Amino acid sequence: MKAIKIAIDGPASSGKSTVAKIIAKNLGYTYLDTGAMYRSATYIALTHGYTGKEVALILEELAKKPISFKKAEDGAQLVFLGDEDVTLAIRQNDVTNNVSWVSALPEIREELVQQQRRIAQAGGIIMDGRDIGTVVLPDAELKIFLIASVEERAERRYKENLEKGIESDFETLKEEIAARDYKDSHRKVSPLKAADDALVFDTTGISIEGVVQFIQEKAEKMVDMA
């Protein structure tokens, strides 16, 4: 049975990562958190005080400390820069608020997209991000674009932050998510948009289980057809 490539795109806090991880586990697929890769590059930029004019230095650090993913004993995915565990550090608010400009740098995108494509070559992979279906995996057999209201996405992010011990203000989160949407959809390089052949699914008011069921049923049909 052929293993397919699944691309899940959408704006910030639309449930992409949560859903992708569950489906990957259910189908026995590899899950690649592309957002964590861009967050890692952002973490490097902020840690060293680099700006958009110092792309070469960010790439140099990425070469010295390559991004890798490991599984914790409880099955959770850990993100490393070299030997440094940055799993929690890349989810802090300063990284969240700066990832848009770093991910918009053409040189950064080119490097990370090439890494992502190499990993996906064999199939049996599910990726989530903002340009997976349009740029990274335009040949993916199944493309999903998740959307949800700003209010609901802010509520999800607020709950996630509480669980991780990250302080946040609900109204501020709403403003930040709306601003992130604008930046992501208006950037010159790989703007946020649904692929022409993507299935657009509004998750507002729908449980994680409901979203997983919808996508997994589509994936299983694709596998049967492959």
What CATH architecture applies to the domain 5-219? 3-Layer(aba) Sandwich (3.40)
What pTM was computed for the model? 0.80
The annotation status of 68 as a binding-site residue, yes or no, is no
Give residue limits of the domains in the chain: 5-219
The annotation status of 11 as a binding-site residue, yes or no, is yes
The annotation status of 34 as a binding-site residue, yes or no, is no
Rounded distance, CA 117 to CA 164, Å?
Answer: 31
The annotation status of 89 as a binding-site residue, yes or no, is no
Query: Measured in whole angstroms, how far is the alpha carbon of residue 90 from the centre of its chain?
Result: 12
The annotation status of 12 as a binding-site residue, yes or no, is yes
Q: What residues pair up with 125 in beta bridges, in sequence order?
A: 5, 30
- Tell whether the torsion through CA atoms of 12, 92, 112 and 141 is positive or negative: negative
From first to last of its 226 residues, the chain has per-residue pLDDT tens of: 578 999 999 998 999 999 999 999 999 898 998 889 999 999 999 999 999 899 999 999 999 999 988 888 887 889 999 999 999 999 998 999 999 899 889 999 999 999 899 888 888 999 998 889 999 999 999 999 999 999 999 999 999 899 989 889 999 999 999 999 998 899 888 889 999 999 999 999 999 999 999 999 999 998 887 6
- Tell which residue, 84, 89, 95, has the closest CA to residue 61: 84
